[in-house]
C-alpha cells in the first residue's frame, strides 16, 4: 500500500510535498449547492405531476429543463473543468447519461438521475465536512484577544496579532490561554486536552510552558509570550492537519489516476453496447440507447472514488482529537503496514532527565556491627579512609549543598532530590570542580568530595568490599553511582539514572500483542546502561554506543528487512526519523524540528498513543478495503442486472447513488474512538 521511495529525506520542511501535492479538497459543503438540489427536486416532482395530470407537454418539458439546469449545474461545471484539464470524470458520465435520456424522451429519468447525483454529492460533502469540522473546531479554541500588561502597569485588551515575544499577558481563572508562553507568576491546573489529548489537567507553575487554546484552571496567571500568534503550537497543529487532509493516500492517488481511464472505458463500453444492441440484436434505437445510458450510470465509479477519502479524512480527524498528527493519508496507510519499531532510548523510552534513585549511606550497607567493632576494638582496617557513620538524609544534604552551584546534570538531579525532600542546604566554601572526576567543597568546616571512582582513588580512599559490591549492583541496573566522602572518610554514595517513562513497558507489550514483530532500542549510551533499560522495558534487540549516523545506517538496514517505524524525540533523531518508513516524533509540543521532520507527531509524552495509532491505521485500512470491495461488487451486480433483467434507469440510479452514500457513512465510522 505504500512506496518507501516517496519518503522525504532529512531537512524537508513540514510543508514538503514530494508526490503528495496539497490540493483543495474535492468535497466541500456549499449551501448554494444544497439549494440547487432542493430546486431540482421541486422541478422534477412538478414535471412528473404535470405529465401525469394531463398538463400541456411544453409545461412538463419546461419543468424538467428547470430540473436539469439546477441539478446539473454543479456537475456540468466540474465536468467542463476536468475536460479543460484533458480529463474525463464521473460528473461527465452523469451529464452525458442525463442528456442522452432526455434526447430519447426520458425526461423524468434524466431528471431523477441528476437529482439523486446532486443529492448524493451534497450529502457526501456534508458528511465529509463533519470530519473537517472536528479539526476546524480547534480554530474556535484560540481567543482573538488577550489582556496585556504594559511596562508601566497599564492593562489593555489587544488583538493577539499585536502581541510580541516577551509581552506579559494576564489570564483569569477559567479563561482560555491566548498565546504560547511561559508562566511568570501564578500556578494553576491547565486543561491541555485540545492540544495534547490529555484527559486530565496538568499542574503548571512559574517557569513552565503553556499553550494557546489551553483552559486555565482556578489560578490567575501572568504569562510571558514566547511565540507570535501565527507560530503558536495550536496554529501549527491546525495548519498541519489541514495539509494532511489535502494530501492524498496512495490508494486514493491510484484511484484518482484510474478514474479518467475507467470513465473512458465506460463510455466506450456503453457505445459498444449501443451498437451491438441496435445493429446486432435488432433492438429499437430508443431501447438500445436507453440501455446504454443505464449501463453508463451503473458502471460509473462514484462510490469507488469516494471510498478512500471518506475513510482517510475521518481517521486523520480522529487521530488529531487524540493528540496524534498524521502529515498525510499515505502515512496513515504506512502505519497500518509497520512490522518493526525502533525506539530511541533517551527522551523516548526514558524521561531524558537524570533522577536520584538511591541514596545509600555507609551504615546502610555495613551495618551497626561493623562500626561497633571499629569503635570498641579500636580497629582501623582501612587506614585514614575508614568509613564514617551518617544518615542517608545527612548524606544527601552534604552532597546537594556542594552540587547546588554545579552545572552538571547529575549534580542538578541531586539538588532536585534534596529539594523534593524539603531539606535545608548548607553554606559551601572553597568549591572546586575536577574535570572528569567530580567536585569538592567545604561544608561546616569539613571537606566534602563528590565524584567517581577516579576521584576516590586519587584521594587514596579504600572503600570496604560490601560498599563496592552494592555499587556494582546498582551499576548493573544501568545507574550511575556517585561516591561521597567527608574529610576523606567514605560516607556513602548516590545512584542516578534516567528513569523509564510511565507505561513504557505496558506500551511495548501492547504493541507486541498487536503483532509488531520486532521492538528495537537505539541509543548512544553505553551498552551496560542500554541493556539495563532494555531489560526493564522489554525490547527485543539493543544497539548501543551509536552516533546519529549509526542510527541512520541501522534504520535503513531494518527498513530493508521489514516496514520499520522510528520513534524519537524529533531533534537528535531527525535523520533516523527521515529514513524510516514511518517517522514518529515523541512528545513534540513546541519542537519545530519534530513537527517538520516526522511523518506522525505525538503531541504529548504518552507511549500508549502508539498502540492507538496502529489500531486506528489498521481500522482505516480495513474500512478502505471494505468500501472498495463493496463499491466494485455493487458495480458488478448492477452491470449484470442491465444485461440479465433489463434494469430500469431509475433503479440503476438508486443503486449507484445509494452505494456511494453507504461508502461515505462507513468511512465516517472512523470518527469514533476505538
Q: What is the DSSP letter of 28?
A: -
215-224, 229-238, 380-389, 394-403, range with the lowest pLDDT: 380-389
Cα gap 656→661, rounded to integer Å: 9
For 385, 480, 482, 502, the CA distances from 486, given in Å and listed in that order, are: 9, 20, 14, 36
pTM to 2 decimals? 0.66
Cα gap 546→248, rounded to integer Å: 36
Whether the CA torsion 172, 173, 177, 183 is positive or negative: it is: positive
C-beta of residue 309 within 8 angstroms of C-beta of residue 330: no
149-153, 230-234, 356-360, range with the lowest pLDDT: 230-234
- pLDDT tens across 275-321, in order? 888 788 888 888 888 888 888 778 877 777 777 777 887 888 888 77
Cα gap 43→248, rounded to integer Å: 37
The three-point CA angle 109-112-117 to 5° equals 130
114-123, 355-364, 575-584, range with the lowest pLDDT: 114-123
Of the chain, the percentage scoring pLDDT greater than 90 comes to 12
Cα gap 517→658, rounded to integer Å: 41
- pLDDT tens across 120-150, in order? 677 666 655 654 555 555 556 667 889 999 8
Cα gap 14→565, rounded to integer Å: 18
Q: Which of 610, 2, 535, 615 is nearest to 342 (CA)?
A: 610
Q: Which of 500, 458, 462, 464 is nearest to 479 (CA)?
A: 500
Cα gap 543→521, rounded to integer Å: 6
For 294, 370, 574, 611, the CA distances from 376, given in Å and listed in that order, are: 109, 10, 63, 62
pLDDT band for position 506 (cuts 50, 70, 90)? very high
Mean pLDDT over the full length of the chain: 79
What is the reported pLDDT for 345?
A: 84
Coil/strand/helix, residue 209: strand
Cα gap 288→584, rounded to integer Å: 57
What is the reported pLDDT for 48?
A: 86
51 is annotated as an active-site residue: no
Q: Which residue among 89, 180, 191, 344 is the active-site one?
A: 344
Grid cell listed for 374: 571499629
pLDDT band for position 377 (cuts 50, 70, 90)? very low
- pLDDT tens across 642-664, in order? 888 888 877 887 887 788 888 88
What is the reported pLDDT for 30?
A: 62
- pLDDT tens across 420-468, in order? 898 888 888 888 887 667 888 898 888 998 988 878 888 888 788 888 8
The C-alpha cell 475536460 sits at 83
Cα gap 326→332, rounded to integer Å: 7
pLDDT at residue 19 is higher than 70: no
Average pLDDT of span 48-55: 86
Show the domains of the chain with their CATH numbers.
4-135+240-320+617-671 (no CATH), 143-231 (2.70.150.10), 352-499 (3.40.1110.10)
243-252, 261-270, 476-485, 521-530, range with the lowest pLDDT: 243-252
What is the reported pLDDT for 437?
A: 76
C-beta of residue 600 within 8 angstroms of C-beta of residue 556: no
167-176, 201-210, 260-269, range with the lowest pLDDT: 260-269
C-beta of residue 570 within 8 angstroms of C-beta of residue 586: yes
Amino acid at each position: 500500500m505504500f512506496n518507501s521511495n516517496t519518503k522525504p529525506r532529512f531537512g524537508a520542511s513540514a510543508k514538503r510535498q514530494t508526490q503528495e501535492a496539497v490540493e483543495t479538497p474535492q468535497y466541500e459543503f456549499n449551501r448554494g449547492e444544497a439549494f440547487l438540489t432542493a430546486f431540482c427536486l421541486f422541478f422534477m416532482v412538478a414535471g412528473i405531476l404535470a405529465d401525469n395530470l394531463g398538463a400541456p407537454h411544453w409545461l412538463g418539458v419546461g419543468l424538467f429543463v428547470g430540473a436539469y439546469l439546477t441539478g446539473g449545474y454543479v456537475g456540468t461545471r466540474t465536468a467542463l473543468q476536468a475536460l479543460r484539464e484533458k480529463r474525463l470524470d464521473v460528473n461527465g458520465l452523469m451529464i452525458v447519461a442525463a442528456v442522452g435520456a432526455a434526447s430519447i424522451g426520458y425526461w423524468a429519468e434524466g431528471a431523477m438521475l441528476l437529482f439523486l447525483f446532486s443529492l448524493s454529492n451534497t450529502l457526501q460533502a456534508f458528511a465529509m465536512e463533519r470530519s473537517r469540522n472536528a479539526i476546524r473546531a480547534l480554530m474556535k479554541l484560540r481567543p482573538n484577544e488577550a489582556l496585556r500588561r504594559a511596562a508601566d502597569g497599564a492593562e489593555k485588551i489587544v488583538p493577539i496579532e499585536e502581541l510580541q515575544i516577551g509581552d506579559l499577558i494576564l489570564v483569569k481563572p477559567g479563561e482560555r490561554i491566548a498565546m504560547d508562553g511561559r508562566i511568570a507568576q501564578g500556578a494553576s491546573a491547565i486543561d491541555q486536552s485540545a492540544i495534547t489529548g490529555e484527559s486530565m489537567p496538568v499542574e503548571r507553575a512559574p517557569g513552565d510552558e503553556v499553550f494557546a487554546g489551553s483552559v486555565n484552571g482556578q489560578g490567575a496567571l501572568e504569562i510571558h509570550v514566547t511565540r507570535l500568534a501565527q507560530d503558536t503550537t495550536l496554529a501549527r497543529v491546525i495548519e498541519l492537519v489541514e495539509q494532511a487532509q489535502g494530501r492524498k493516500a496512495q490508494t486514493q492517488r491510484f484511484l484518482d489516476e484510474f478514474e479518467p481511464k475507467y470513465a473512458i472505458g465506460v463510455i466506450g463500453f456503453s457505445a459498444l453496447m449501443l451498437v451491438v444492441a441496435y445493429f446486432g440484436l435488432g433492438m429499437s434505437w430508443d431501447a438500445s440507447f436507453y440501455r446504454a445510458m443505464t449501463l453508463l450510470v451503473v458502471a460509473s465509479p462514484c462510490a469507488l472514488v469516494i471510498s478512500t477519502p471518506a475513510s482517510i479524512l475521518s481517521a486523520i480527524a480522529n487521530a488529531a482529537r487524540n493528540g496524534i498528527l498524521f502529515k498525510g493519508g499515505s502515512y496513515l496507510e504506512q502505519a497500518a503496514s509497520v512490522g518493526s519499531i525502533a525506539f530511541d532510548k533517551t527522551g523516548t523510552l526514558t524521561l531524558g532527565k537524570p533522577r536520584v534513585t538511591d541514596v545509600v549511606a555507609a551504615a546502610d550497607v555495613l551495618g551497626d556491627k561493623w562500626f561497633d567493632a571499629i569503635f570498641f576494638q579500636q580497629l582501623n582496617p582501612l587506614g585514614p579512609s575508614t568509613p564514617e557513620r551518617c544518615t542517608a538524609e545527612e548524606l544527601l544534604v552534604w552532597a546537594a549543598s556542594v552540587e547546588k552551584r554545579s552545572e552538571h546534570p547529575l549534580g542538578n538531579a541531586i539538588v532536585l532530590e534534596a529539594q523534593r525532600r524539603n531539606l535545608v542546604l548548607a553554606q559551601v566554601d572553597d568549591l572546586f570542580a575536577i574535570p572528569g572526576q567530580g567536585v569538592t567543597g567545604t561544608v561546616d568546616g569539613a571537606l566534602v568530595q563528590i565524584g567517581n571512582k577516579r576521584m576516590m582513588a586519587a584521594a587514596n580512599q579504600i572503600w570496604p568490599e560490601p560498599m563496592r559490591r552494592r555499587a556494582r549492583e546498582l551499576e548493573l541496573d544501568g545507574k550511575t553511582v556517585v561516591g561521597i566522602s567527608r574529610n576523606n572518610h567514605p560516607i556513602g554514595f548516590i545512584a542516578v539514572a534516567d528513569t523509564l517513562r510511565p507505561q513504557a513497558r505496558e506500551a511495548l507489550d501492547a504493541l507486541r500483542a498487536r503483532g509488531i514483530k520486532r521492538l528495537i532500542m537505539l541509543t548512544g549510551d553505553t551498552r551496560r546502561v542500554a541493556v539495563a533499560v532494555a531489560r526493564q522495558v522489554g525490547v527485543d534487540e539493543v544497539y548501543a554506543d551509536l552516533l546519529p549516523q549509526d542510527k541512520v545506517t541501522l534504520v535503513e538496514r531494518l527498513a530493508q528487512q521489514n516496514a520499520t517505524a522510528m520513534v524519537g524525540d524529533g531533534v537528535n533523531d531527525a535523520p533516523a526519523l527521515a529514513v524510516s518508513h514511518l517517522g514518529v516524533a515523541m512528545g513534540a509540543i513546541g519542537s519545530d524540528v519534530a513537527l517538520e521532520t516526522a511523518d506522525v507527531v505525538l503531541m504529548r509524552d504518552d507511549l500508549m498513543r502508539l498502540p492507538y495509532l496502529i489500531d486506528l491505521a489498521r481500522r482505516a485500512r480495513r474500512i478502505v478495503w471494505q468500501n472498495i470491495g463493496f463499491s466494485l461488487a455493487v458495480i458488478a451486480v448492477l452491470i449484470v442486472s442491465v444485461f440479465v433483467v433489463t434494469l430500469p434507469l431509475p433503479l440503476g440510479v438508486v443503486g449507484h447513488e445509494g452505494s456511494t452514500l453507504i461508502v461515505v457513512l462507513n468511512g465516517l465510522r472512523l470518527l469514533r474512538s476505538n
